[in-house]
Amino acid sequence: METIQKDFEWNGKVALITGIGGQDGSYLAEFLLSKGYKVRGMIRRSSYPNTKRIDHLDIYDDVYGKTPESPFYLLYGDLSDSTSIRNILEEVQPDEVYNLASQSHVSVSFNSPESTLNFNAIGPLRILEAIRNMKLSCKYYQASSSEMYGISPPPQNEETPMIPQSPYGISKLAAFHLTRMYRNAYGLYATNGILFNHESPRRGVNFVTRKITRGLAYILTGRKEKLSLGNLDAKRDWGYAKEYVEAMWLMLQQDKPDDYVIGTKESHTVKEFVEEAFNLVNLNWKDFVEILDRYKRPAEVPTLLADSSKAERVLGWKPKTKFKDLVKIMVAADLKEAMQETGYLHVNDMNMPDDFYIEKGKELAKGIKLKRKRI
């Protein structure tokens, strides 16, 4: 986790982040705190606390508690609960609202289409309607998604027709249009960030990139023998989540609200991701990966490739981390975690560069190959 400074100089602004416990929410919270924002985050109740990605931000708690002066605190709320949304907006009086909360798993949206639509489409409507009714002058960011393009041929930009293929894609498209409608009809500062896939060591473990890098780390540390995947031919434009949250912020710093595509302008198959990850430690992925139908979807989005020229031109935003670097960051992080958990690392091996963990991974891979030869 990042080191967060206790010293804090307020820039006069307050940001509310829904979905703060998620991958993007945690990076955005760190980014905004570093810019001097007071950050308030909405989390929902779960039977077991689910705040691992933001627990390190609790450092402010001892000094400030949950007071207006505090740089950071959390509030309970839920996208399906209008009352909780209004109460939070009333208490926080935000300058900027980043709506990142959602049921974000495409495959799961086929199993739970109703709640996906409720959280992802009606949730944003509840926030927008509350902002309008309460006459708040805050800026609103909607986490829109490349999944909205569905089967529209690549490359995709702000003008590309959207033909979604999943309940998730449809829910995000409804929220996208609601955001535009509140902007056009009521003059709200409401902006859509159409983000293509973005990943990191904080990615949920059942998204394909993290499933691959964590699966590889488990194989190397002897906790698993194989990795089960679905469709390897789908192509995605994968970027680094930590860089994408700056684009979200930049969107809300413009004079006028608008919609922006964010991506790397590069697309790779799932197979290429697996291959790159296993190659890093000199293993042949074909020896370890099995294909199971249960990981295939009722309908697939074949190719996503961002044309993010508008973001480059207007926001001055460009990704720095490309495909190979991203795979390496994720493999190194998962190797580090798995080796720590299984006792392969010494206490003073904890803050080493990524290459150190990759080299350790290669050593473990040699052992696995030897063992396989003997059998």
**Distance of alpha carbon 163 from alpha carbon 151, whole angstroms:** 6
Partner from ligand F7E, ligand NAP, none contacting 260, C-beta within 5 to 8 A by type: none
Q: Does 147 bind ligand F7E (CB under 6 A)?
A: yes
Q: Does 25 bind ligand NAP (CB under 6 A)?
A: yes
State which residue, 116 or 131, has the beta carbon closest to ligand F7E. Answer: 116
From 46-54, 73-81, 104-112, 361-369, span contacting ligand F7E (CB under 6 A): 104-112
Per DSSP bridges, beta strands 38-43 and 72-76 are parallel
Q: Does 155 bind ligand NAP (CB under 6 A)?
A: no
Partner from ligand F7E, ligand NAP, none contacting 46, C-beta within 5 to 8 A by type: ligand NAP
Secondary structure, 3-state, 125-190? HHHHHHHHHCCCCCEEEEEEEHHHHECCCCCECCCCCCECCCHHHHHHHHHHHHHHHHHHHHCCEE
| Residues forming beta bridges with residue 76, ordered by sequence position | 43
- Say how many C-beta atoms besides its own lie within 10 A of residue 115's C-beta: 16
Q: Does 197 bind ligand F7E (CB under 6 A)?
A: yes
Query: Is 112 designated active site?
Result: no
As to burial, measured by CB atoms within 10 angstroms (0-12 exposed, 13-18 middle, 19+ buried), residue 229 is: buried
| Residues forming beta bridges with residue 150, ordered by sequence position | 163
State in angstroms the smallest separation of the CB of 13 from ligand NAP: 21
Q: Where are the beta strands (DSSP E) in the chain?
A: 14-18, 38-43, 72-76, 96-99, 139-145, 189-195, 198-199, 227-229, 235-236, 239-240, 259-262, 268-269, 289-291
Q: Does 19 bind ligand NAP (CB under 6 A)?
A: yes
Pick the binder of ligand NAP from 14, 15, 22, 306 (CB under 6 A): 22
- Say how many C-beta atoms besides its own lie within 10 A of residue 41's C-beta: 28
State which residue, 95 or 307, has the beta carbon closest to ligand F7E. Answer: 307
Side chain identity, residue 53: R
Pick the binder of ligand F7E from 229, 315, 331, 345 (CB under 6 A): 229
Nearest CA among 146, 265, 151, 154 for reference residue 196: 146
**Distance of alpha carbon 325 from alpha carbon 81, whole angstroms:** 40
State in angstroms the smallest separation of the CB of 196 from ligand F7E: 6
What backbone phi and psi angles, to 5 degrees, belong to 342?
Answer: -100, 10
Pick the binder of ligand F7E from 246, 300, 337, 354 (CB under 6 A): 300
Pick the binder of ligand NAP from 8, 14, 16, 21 (CB under 6 A): 21
State which residue, 202 or 328, has the beta carbon closest to ligand NAP. Answer: 202
Pick the binder of ligand NAP from 46, 67, 348, 351 (CB under 6 A): 46
State which residue, 71 or 201, has the beta carbon closest to ligand F7E. Answer: 201
What the block records as the tokens of 99 is 């709506």
Q: In the complex, which residues of this chain contact ligand F7E (CB under 6 A)? A: 104, 106-107, 145-147, 196-197, 206-208, 211, 229-231, 234, 236, 270, 295, 297, 300
- Known catalytic residues are 145, 147, 168
Q: In the complex, which residues of this chain contact ligand NAP (CB under 6 A)? A: 18-19, 21-25, 44, 46, 50, 78-80, 100-104, 119, 143, 145, 195, 197-198, 204
